[in-house]
């Protein structure tokens, strides 16, 4: 009897050993993965430790790519004051940090909270030295990829209208400008808290990353990608464009009901012929169109330094999905995308078919020693199309600006590629879209512009993109 | 033997050193309310030395590790209590002192543990005492910290369920030694579910879980039956689901576990603050006296492990877990070496409930399992828990010495 009991006792020992070591394993997991969430999550307003830390430590500064100070903390009468030097245009990127007032934090201030509070320097000796010497500590500085000049220009060009501008470097994914209008002044947030938070214009909503819009005709980049990838013959077809097309009894018309007559694939793209692209979509079929949309990340939320809303590309039903397929082919129907995603979409043809992961934080440095503590290295995000297809799309986009709907984006001396969009929506006048890049032979900047209810993309959005490209390229 | 004592003395010296350094640091950082506390606290050091040498003299073949490790844990408790609630420290030292005395008393009592077996009508006596103690809180009980499981006598509050733990283990060992049929197991199961039910209604969820699992483990060891264990686990699941729908306090605990951020200013305040503390500690800790464990509610009792994690870091916390692991290992060894089934079953019961208690509270404060308010043995502030933990180890020591004494008869005396 004792023999079998001893065996059981040993089994029990094994059970207790597993229980004890699972505690250790969970603690390690917690320290490695869960801990950081506690510091950056919105619940951290309940963490009094961070408030203490925040009072003790001079919060780090935030810089643009050229060393311009965007945010810094100073001590006034013993109290720490956060100043946002280029307040309104940057409010939607940088956000605010108001943990002390239990109002939380957003944007870069939230994402890089640990860095700005100097909490990533885990060297215990430095910490001990600073504690023993009673030195006041300073947080680390965060340097962004954004160009202040471009950001101010973009915000200015939006001119108070509701909309967004995203500009990025297609080769690295570094974001150059990310403007959302209308915005608010984070410097006076204390006094204006409730009016800002409850503003009917949703000024705290970052329209560039969290605004969801129907893409309209700029989606034809994806439809064309699918056509060139899965049914290359379509490229040589001609379409009889009589200004409208009827799908299962539903009439889909061209913008302004223009009839283009018999046109080829290229012309159909230049003039953004809905009729032709509906026919292309129907030929492609739902599975090809869906596959390409997914490859462009239209069912994902983009990984980014600040929160991004998930795009929506609902799958087209197998049966009776013909109308929806037709609408999807021209970017209407149930598709919803963010301006950031559309900038990424346009960077595929600009960058040989590869979309780089977008990022805002270039590096984090110690303000005293200048040592670089964290640095973002560019990485591949998606690869929806081959180099060959990418080059063909690029040629189509050059055509749009040279002889199509996007002539307003032309810059003398350089070749601009682009695509306009006029997205119909249930909330009044159509949204004006433009995506494009320049110089076409060696793209250095991709721009995506949306003006809510701005009408035709070629007229309203393209000139904004032109000004931003011009400013960045120095023309 | 010589070697053995030497290793022990070295461990005691380390305990001494840790204590002196810790109190110096705390004195520098926090300037406690006067020197009285310091004098009294320093008296703790000779006390653990006396206990150590007494143990070597009285039980040369005893489980010396148990007293060394429990002294260390009690010391860690004192350091943290001094850190977070200095007012409680003298009371805690008094409880440790009483605990030491009861450790020796229960060691001696357990040398003759056959007595517990020979008690006439033992089954009925033990069950009667257990139920009287449990139900007494229904009538005379007082609600402290959300659980109505306390009896107060003047300024002293005791938790009868702590006493019932040990009586019930002796009852189970006695009964299971001779009764292993399915009917017997069903009978034990029914009695256990009754006790557990009372505890759940009294909102003492942690103790309820400890009772249930310990019974299950003891039945497994006694009968080797996988079937009983399987059925027991199934009942635990069903019982958990039923009580989730039946009792609001069970529901709150489970919800707070699933989402500790659900209601931080309210229901999930404790667990959220505990997680903030553990997170703030990181791997190396903030350093003793340099964190903010005072932000955690009931930090001196239920959440003392979070305070240790904050100031000593994950490495310190793991060290504490490993100390409990060694105690668990020694307890298992006592059970393996016990000379008869009754002794082995008592030892298994004692070490099971002890280890499960450690797992339940540590797992609870780190959000590995739902939080149930039990104390961390030897470390948490609290009399009942301290005294009962020492009695548990004392009994294990007694059972171990009993085994060795019988062997010694065949060996030359040193």
| pLDDT digits 0-9 by tens, A164-216 | 999 999 999 999 999 999 999 999 998 899 999 999 989 999 999 999 999 99
Alpha helices by DSSP H, A134-188: 148-158
Per DSSP, helices labelled H in B85-121 are 89-111, 114-118
Chain B residues with CB under 8 Å of A13 CB are 328-329, 332
Characterize the bridge pairing of strands A250-253 and A431-438.
unpaired
B101 touches chain A (CB under 8 A): no
Residue B33 has a pLDDT of 58
Residue A78 banded pLDDT, cuts 50, 70, 90: confident
CATH number of A151-183+199-359+380-473: 3.40.710.10
Residue ranges of A 109-128 with Cβ closer than 8 A to chain B: 122, 124
Per-residue pLDDT at A415: 95
Q: Which of residues 273-292 of B touch A (CB under 8 A)?
A: 273, 275-280, 282-284, 290-292
Q: Find, among A82, A75, A86, the residue nearest to A96 by Cα.
A: A82
- Whether chain B has a CB inside 8 Å of the CB on A19: the answer is yes
pTM for the full predicted model: 0.72
A129/B contact by beta carbon, under 8 A:
no
Mean residue pLDDT across chain A: 90
Place of tokens 């030395």: B49
In the predicted structure, residue A1 carries a pLDDT above the cut 50: yes
Which pLDDT score, from 0 to 100, does residue A428 have?
83
Is residue A378 within 8 A of residue A218, CB to CB? The reply is no
Burial class for A473, CB neighbours closer than 10 Å (0-12, 13-18, 19+)? middle
Once rounded to an integer, what is the mean pLDDT over residues A328-344? 94
pLDDT category of residue A75 using cuts at 50, 70 and 90 = confident
Range 344-363 of B in CB contact (< 8 A) with A: 344, 348, 352, 355-356, 358-359, 362-363
Q: Which residues of chain B have pLDDT under 70?
A: 1-2, 31-37, 141-149, 154-156, 404-414
Q: Measure CB to CB from residue B283 to each of A15, A31, A131 and give the nearest one.
A: A31
**In percent, how much of chain A has pLDDT > 90?**
67
Closest-CA distance, A348 to chain B, in angstroms, reads: 40
pLDDT at res. B407:
46
Mean pLDDT over residues A322-348, rounded? 93
Q: What is the DSSP letter of A31?
A: I
Give the residue from A10, A11, A19 with the most B CB atoms within 10 Å of its CB, the best one to mutate.
Answer: A19
**pLDDT of A223:** 95
For position B409, what pLDDT does the model report? 45
When pLDDT is cut at 50, 70 and 90, the band that residue A288 belongs to is: very high
Q: Which two tokens stand for residue A225?
A: 């990608």
Nearest alpha carbon to residue B157 among B165, B166, B148: B148
Cβ-based contacts of A134 with chain B (< 8 Å): none
- For residue B413, the model assigns a pLDDT of 43
ipTM topping 0.90: yes
Give the pLDDT of residue B411. 43
Helix (H, G, I), strand (E, B) or coil at A174: strand
Alpha-carbon span B130 to B126, nearest angstrom: 6
């Amino acid at each position: 009897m004792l023999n079998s009991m001893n065996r059981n006792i040993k089994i029990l020992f094994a059970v207790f050993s597993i229980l004890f070591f699972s505690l250790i394993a969970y603690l390690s997991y917690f320290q490695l993965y869960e801990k950081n969430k506690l510091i950056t999550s919105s619940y951290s307003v309940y963490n009094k430790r961070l408030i203490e830390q925040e009072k003790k430590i001079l919060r780090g500064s935030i810089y643009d790519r050229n060393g311009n100070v965007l945010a810094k903390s100073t001590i006034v009468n013993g109290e720490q004051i956060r100043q946002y030097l280029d307040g309104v245009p940057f409010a939607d990127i940088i956000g605010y940090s108001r943990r002390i007032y239990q109002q939380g934090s957003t944007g870069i201030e939230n994402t890089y909270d640990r860095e700005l509070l100097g909490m990533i320097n885990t060297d215990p000796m430095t910490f001990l030295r600073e504690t023993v010497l009673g030195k006041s500590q300073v947080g680390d500085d965060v340097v962004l990829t954004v160009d202040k000049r471009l950001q101010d220009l973009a915000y200015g060009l939006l001119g108070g209208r509701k909309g967004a501008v995203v500009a990025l470097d297609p080769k690295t994914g570094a974001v150059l400008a990310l403007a959302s209008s209308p915005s608010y002044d984070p410097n006076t947030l204390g006094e204006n808290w409730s009016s800002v938070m409850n503003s009917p214009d949703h000024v705290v909503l970052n329209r560039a990353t969290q605004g969801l819009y129907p893409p309209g005709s700029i989606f034809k980049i994806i439809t064309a990608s699918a056509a060139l990838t899965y049914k290359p013959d379509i490229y040589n077809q001609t379409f009889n464009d009589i200004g409208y097309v009827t799908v299962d009894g539903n009439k889909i018309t061209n913008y302004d009901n223009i009839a283009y007559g018999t046109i080829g694939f290229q012309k159909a793209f230049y003039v953004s012929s809905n009729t032709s692209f509906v026919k292309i979509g129907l030929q492609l079929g739902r599975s090809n169109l869906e596959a390409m949309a997914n490859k462009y990340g239209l069912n994902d939320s983009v990984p980014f330094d600040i929160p991004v809303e998930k795009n929506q590309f609902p799958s087209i039903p197998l049966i009776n999905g013909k109308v929806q397929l037709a609408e999807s082919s021209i970017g209407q129907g149930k598709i919803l995308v963010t301006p950031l995603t559309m900038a990424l979409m346009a960077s595929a043809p600009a960058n040989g078919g590869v979309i780089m992961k977008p990022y805002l934080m270039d590096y984090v440095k110690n303000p005293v020693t200048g040592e670089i503590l964290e640095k973002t290295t560019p990485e591949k995000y998606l690869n929806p199309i081959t180099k060959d297809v990418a080059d063909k799309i690029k040629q189509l986009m050059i055509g749009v600006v040279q002889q199509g709907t996007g002539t307003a984006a032309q810059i003398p001396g350089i070749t601009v590629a682009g695509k306009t969009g006029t997205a119909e929506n249930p909330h009044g006048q159509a949204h004006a879209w433009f995506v494009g890049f320049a110089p076409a032979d060696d793209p250095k900047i991709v721009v995506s512009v949306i003006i809510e209810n701005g009408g035709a993309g070629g007229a309203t959005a393209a000139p904004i993109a032109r000004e931003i490209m011009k400013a960045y390229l120095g023309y | 033997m010589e070697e053995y004592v030497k290793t022990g003395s070295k461990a005691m010296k380390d305990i001494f050193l840790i204590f002196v350094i810790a109190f110096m640091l705390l004195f520098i950082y926090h300037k406690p309310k006067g020197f009285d506390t310091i004098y009294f606290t320093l008296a703790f050091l000779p006390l653990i030395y006396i206990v150590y040498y007494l143990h070597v003299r009285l039980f040369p073949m005893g489980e010396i590790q148990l007293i060394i490790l429990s002294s260390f844990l009690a010391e860690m408790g004192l350091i943290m209590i001094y850190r977070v609630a200095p007012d409680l420290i003298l009371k805690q030292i008094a409880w440790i002192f009483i605990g030491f005395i009861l450790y020796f008393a229960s060691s001696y009592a357990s040398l003759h543990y056959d007595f517990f077996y020979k008690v006439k009508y033992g089954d009925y006596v033990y069950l009667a005492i257990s139920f009287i103690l449990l139900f007494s809180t229904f009538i005379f009980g007082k609600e402290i910290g959300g659980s109505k499981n306390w009896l107060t006598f003047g300024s002293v509050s005791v938790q009868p369920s702590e006493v019932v733990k040990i009586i019930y283990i002796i009852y189970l060992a006695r009964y299971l030694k001779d009764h292993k049929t399915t009917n017997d197991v069903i009978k034990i199961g029914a009695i256990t579910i009754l006790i557990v039910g009372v505890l759940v209604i009294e909102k003492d969820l942690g103790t309820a879980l400890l009772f249930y699992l310990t019974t299950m483990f003891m039945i497994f060891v006694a009968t080797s039956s996988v079937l009983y264990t399987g059925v027991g686990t199934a009942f635990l699941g069903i019982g958990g689901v039923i009580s989730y729908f039946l009792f609001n306090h069970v529901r709150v605990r489970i919800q707070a576990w699933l989402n500790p951020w659900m209601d931080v200013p309210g229901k999930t305040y404790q667990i959220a603050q505990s997680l903030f503390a553990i997170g703030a500690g990181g791997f190396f800790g903030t350093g003793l006296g340099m964190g903010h464990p005072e932000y955690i509610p009931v930090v001196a009792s239920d959440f003392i492990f979070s305070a240790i994690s904050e100031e000593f870091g994950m490495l310190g916390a793991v060290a504490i877990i490993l100390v409990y692991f060694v105690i668990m290992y020694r307890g298992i060894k006592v059970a393996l070496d016990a000379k008869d089934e009754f002794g082995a079953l008592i030892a298994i019961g004692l070490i099971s409930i002890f280890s499960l208690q450690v797992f339940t509270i540590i797992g609870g404060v780190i959000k590995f399992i739902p939080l149930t308010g039990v104390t961390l043995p030897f470390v948490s502030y609290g009399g009942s828990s301290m005294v009962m933990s020492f009695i548990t180890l004392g009994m294990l020591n007694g059972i171990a010495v009993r085994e060795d004494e019988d062997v010694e008869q065949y060996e030359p005396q040193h």
